[in-house]
Amino acid sequence: MNWLTNYVRPKIRALYARKEVPDNLWHKCPSCEAMLFHRDLEENLNVCQHCGFHMRLDPIKRLASMFDEGDYQSVELPKSVVDPLKFRDQKRYTDRLKEAQTKTGRHDAIVVGSGLIGGQPAVVAAFDFGFMGGSMGIAVGEGILAAARTAIAQKAALIVVPASGGARMQEGILSLMQMPRTTIAVEMVKEAGLPYIVVLTDPTTGGVTASFAMIGDIHIAEKGAQIGFAGARVIESTIRETLPEGFQRSEYLQEHGMVDMVVHRRDLRPTLSRVLTLLMQPVLAVATEALPAAPAAVQTEEPRNQAEAADETPAQAGAERTGSEQPA
């Protein structure tokens, strides 16, 4: 009976055994609750094809979707001080950082890349909400400053894509210092005559909104993005009034003049291409005027034509030769 036990029974068990399905094959839309296949969701840039809800997008995928042909160069960010306050709540701050770094595979909540968008040079700084809620600490401030310096060095536009809950509380006053620091970095770009564009995504709140996210030359927002400083519930409890429908959403802010345009994620690159083409024309014109002028051609004495040489008498020609041979 060994052949039944060793051969037939395993075949029957394999035939009727329950196959394990990976958990990440299907995703549920938070808005319409439709089930979305992961490949379809990735091809649509994490936007629900049923209701158009914009889910959060990984910063690496975002950079690839914004640059021409998905081609860009990563900008190396300087290292910053880790846990300067030795902060601890329920966990040590260093332990929280290690967990976030292991989860995302990144040093901190910002990624910077440089390349071409619509043929125009650009430097993009994208936030990662998956890294401690995209909170802004010293490392993020260093990243914004590095992006600004890179844009100035390359004479490129600076584009920032925030997705953040605000300043990182574990770094205390040092995180709040990044608000004026990032504002100064933006002013450096503007003083160089380069465009500064902000692409507001869900969510953009807190100290990020109160600093560099609201001082752009152009503000572009994704559909349905939450943009504000304090939370809606905090505002309602403070003023004791019911907030209007759609409050702190990108469409509401566009109606009230806080946002220039609201675009679908698939239309973001063409929109940036048009905007950069318009804003970079003065920069290119100034760069062309600043080029050194071509050296003037050296004028040499033209030789006498044959008619003048024929009219010249032998005596005159000899006198000229004799005069030229005499020392000065």
Annotated binding site for Zn(2+): 29, 32, 48, 51
Phi (first) and psi of residue 236, to 5 degrees: -60, -45
Nearest to 258 by CA among 222, 221, 231, 230: 221
111-133 in b/e form (b: 16+ CB < 10 A) is bbbbbbbbebbbbbbbbbbbbbb
Question: Within 13 Å and on the Cβ side, how many CA atoms surround 136?
Answer: 34
Q: Which residues are annotated as a binding site?
A: 29, 32, 48, 51
Burial of 44 (0-12, 13-18, 19+ CB in 10 A): middle
| CA end-to-end distance (rounded Å), the chain | 127
Q: Kind of pairing, strands 72-74 and 261-263? A: unpaired
**What secondary structure does DSSP assign to 93-122, as a single string?**
HHHHHHHHHHHHSSSSSEEEEEEEETTEEE
